[in-house]
């Protein structure tokens, strides 16, 4: 037997799995492409920023008197090390702007938190580093996006498809909007960065409700993850509509990152042209040909705190999103009747301060003919306009209430693509059972039950230690070639 350890609460849980279990650890089992050495990072940034793709350099776009916004993502992605993409790119861009005559007083740093919680001061300090934080915070030049601040949101109209588009007014009205993004694997549309950054991070919930919903997320082009899904197409259309309404292009600086959030490649310029080019290198790191054949069982563990925050691995609705994210990433190597076995402390900790509405959502899901998570979707606007939940988003560092409905739309994908999901080690197993999950005390008990009921005595097993602790990949079969389409039509073929 193979003795492995999987994330569980704030620690680990042991599992004895058959010797023929395949184990995949991002960046270890299959090495990432080489990252740029630290001593060459500044040179790489200057080369990219001074030679942007599809638009003039900053030296031509900016001048004395130019009002500039630099938009950076929140703490969910991108690393916090001294040489992180955010810290290095912002400093080098500032130097280029100052050389062009821009004055410091005309620069505003904006975190594109979208429907995520507004950053607290320690988070902003960690994201930007002491130097940038001290330079801009005390003069009021670092802010969080507030999608419910009506005075500082601009209605940009509709895309040709009919999706509503809004934009942060500080970005809309400035002379030069700059986006700092990460070309890092993401189950929502393939990669972060590019137009995904502004379409979700600087927008209003009604626009996000045009793509983070079942009719988009439950399509064949969404699972397994695809860079040419309807969702990704909508991101592009919304970002381009923002540019059209502003009358200017975003200047993007995106980095392809490895498992440790180190820079593999840096790409700058016009998102419509830069984004597809950046994906060539990102594909090599992210879409990994690995499996000899498809798996019957996928095994991993869920810590209490990851990705969206403390409590994600214990809040039952967020647990479903996390389970589904693994399905979206790895569906190419899963059999149709695949079983998931996942450890979670599942102790009933909702973290109500961070997700103040999800306990109410969970309770509603237990009643009134709610059979699958998408039955809850009709309540999206009801929750999204709840003034108390909005106040907690605006002033108490909570998620926006519509964010929970995007999580539920995602959460059903796990059930749609598996024959059973076992949660092992739950301290309050009723919460897992309330989401339609099976519960067992140990990995070994769950494995025995799955072999008896679903897979037979000799299942092919994929173990994914650290899958929520490291920057994930999207696994494929060894002979599989990723073309980005899932066999579906290219974006231009979608009917509007």
List, for residues 424-462, the tens digit of each pLDDT value. Answer: 999 999 999 999 999 999 999 999 999 999 999 999 999
Q: Evaluate if residue 496 carries a pLDDT over 50.
A: no
pLDDT digits (tens, 9 = 90+) for 207-263: 999 999 999 999 999 999 998 899 999 999 999 999 999 999 999 999 999 999 999
Alpha carbon distances (Å) from 384 to 207, 238, 377, 390: 12, 20, 11, 7
Question: What was the pLDDT predicted at 273?
Answer: 96
Average pLDDT over residues 105-110: 98
Radius of gyration of the chain measured on its C-alpha atoms: 22
- The pTM assigned to this predicted structure is 0.95
Average pLDDT over residues 10-39: 97
- What is the C-alpha to C-alpha distance for residues 449 and 445, in angstroms, rounded to an integer? 6
DSSP alpha helix (H) spans, 51-159: 58-61, 85-99, 121-136
Task: Please name the residues in contact with 495: beta carbons below 8 A apart, sequence gap of 6 or more.
Answer: none
Sign of CA dihedral 414, 420, 425, 430: positive
Question: What was the pLDDT predicted at 145?
Answer: 98
Q: Evaluate if residue 475 carries a pLDDT over 90.
A: yes
Choose among 24, 84, 75, 462: nearest CA to 258.
84
Question: What was the pLDDT predicted at 486?
Answer: 57
Question: What was the pLDDT predicted at 491?
Answer: 42
Question: What was the pLDDT predicted at 78?
Answer: 84
Q: Evaluate if residue 484 carries a pLDDT over 80.
A: no
Average pLDDT over residues 139-158: 98
Choose among 414, 420, 453: nearest CA to 339.
420
> At how many degrees (to 10) do helices 85-99 and 41-50 cross?
50
Question: What was the pLDDT predicted at 199?
Answer: 97
- What is the C-alpha to C-alpha distance for residues 171 and 236, in angstroms, rounded to an integer? 17
Q: Evaluate if residue 489 carries a pLDDT over 90.
A: no
Average pLDDT over residues 32-58: 98
Regarding predicted confidence, which is higher, 76 or 436? 436
Choose among 248, 268, 196, 244: nearest CA to 67.
248
pLDDT band at 485 (very low <50, low <70, confident <90, very high): low
Q: Which of 20-24, 72-76, 458-462 is predicted with the least confidence, judged by mean pLDDT?
A: 72-76
Pairing state between β 295-303 and 2-9: parallel
Average pLDDT over residues 181-206: 95
Average pLDDT over residues 282-307: 96
Choose among 207, 217, 70: nearest CA to 147.
207
Average pLDDT over residues 36-40: 98
Q: Evaluate if residue 494 carries a pLDDT over 70.
A: no
Q: By percentage, how much of the chain surpasses pLDDT 90?
A: 94
- What is the C-alpha to C-alpha distance for residues 12 and 15, in angstroms, rounded to an integer? 10
C-alpha count within 13 angstroms, C-beta hemisphere, residue 75: 21
* Mean pLDDT value across the chain: 95
Instruction: Note the Cα 78 to chain centre separation in Å.
Output: 11
**Residue 354 phi/psi, 5° resolution?**
-85, -40
Give the DSSP H/E element, type plus range, for residue 235: helix 230-246
pLDDT digits (tens, 9 = 90+) for 252-292: 999 999 999 999 999 999 999 999 999 999 999 999 999 99
């Amino acid at each position: 037997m193979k003795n492995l350890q999987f994330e569980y609460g704030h620690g680990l849980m042991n599992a004895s799995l058959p010797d023929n279990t395949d184990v995949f650890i991002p960046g270890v089992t299959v090495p990432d492409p080489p990252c740029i050495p630290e001593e060459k990072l500044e040179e790489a940034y200057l080369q990219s920023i001074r030679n942007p793709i599809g638009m003039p350099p900053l030296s031509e776009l900016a001048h004395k008197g130019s009002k500039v916004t630099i938009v950076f993502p929140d703490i969910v992605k991108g690393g916090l090390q001294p040489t992180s993409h955010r810290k290095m790119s912002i400093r080098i861009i500032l130097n280029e702007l100052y050389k062009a005559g821009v004055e410091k007083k005309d620069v505003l740093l904006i975190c594109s938190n979208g429907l995520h919680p507004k950053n607290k001061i320690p988070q902003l300090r960690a994201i930007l580093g002491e130097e940038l934080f001290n330079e801009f915070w005390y003069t009021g030049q670092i802010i969080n996006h507030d999608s419910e601040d009506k005075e500082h949101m601009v209605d940009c109209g509709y895309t040709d498809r009919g999706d509503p588009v809004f934009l942060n007014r500080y970005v809309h009205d400035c002379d030069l909007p700059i986006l700092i993004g990460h070309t890092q694997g993401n189950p929502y549309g393939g990669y972060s960065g590019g137009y995904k950054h502004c379409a979700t991070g600087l927008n209003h919930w009604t626009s996000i409700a045009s793509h983070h919903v079942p009719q988009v997320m439950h399509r064949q082009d969404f699972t397994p993850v695809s860079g040419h899904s309807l969702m990704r197409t909508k991101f592009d259309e919304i970002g381009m509509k923002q540019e059209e309404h502003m009358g200017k292009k975003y200047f993007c600086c995106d980095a392809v990152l490895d498992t440790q959030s180190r820079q593999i490649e840096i790409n700058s310029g016009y998102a419509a042209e830069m984004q597809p080019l950046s994906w060539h290198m990102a594909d090599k790191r992210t879409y990994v040909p690995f499996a000899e054949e498809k798996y019957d069982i996928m095994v991993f563990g869920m810590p209490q705190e990851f990705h969206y925050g403390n409590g994600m691995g214990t809040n039952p609705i967020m647990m479903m999103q996390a389970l589904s994210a693994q399905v979206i990433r790895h569906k190419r190597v899963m059999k149709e009747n695949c079983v998931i076995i996942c450890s979670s402390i599942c102790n009933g900790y909702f973290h109500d301060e961070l997700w103040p509405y999800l306990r109410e959502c969970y309770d509603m899901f237990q009643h009134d003919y709610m059979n699958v998570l998408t039955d809850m979707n009709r309540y999206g606007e009801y929750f999204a306009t709840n003034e108390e939940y909005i106040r907690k988003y605006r002033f108490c560092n909570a998620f926006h209430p519509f964010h929970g409905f995007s999580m539920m739309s995602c959460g059903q994908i796990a059930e749609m693509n598996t024959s059973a999901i076992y949660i092992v080690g739950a301290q309050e197993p009723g919460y897992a059972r309330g989401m339609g999950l099976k519960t067992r005390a140990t990995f070994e008990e769950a494995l025995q039950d799955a072999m008896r009921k679903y897979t037979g005595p000799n299942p092919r097993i994929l173990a994914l230690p650290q899958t929520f602790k490291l920057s994930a990949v999207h696994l494929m079969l060894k002979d599989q070639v990723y073309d980005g389409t899932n066999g579906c039509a290219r974006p231009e073929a979608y009917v509007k």
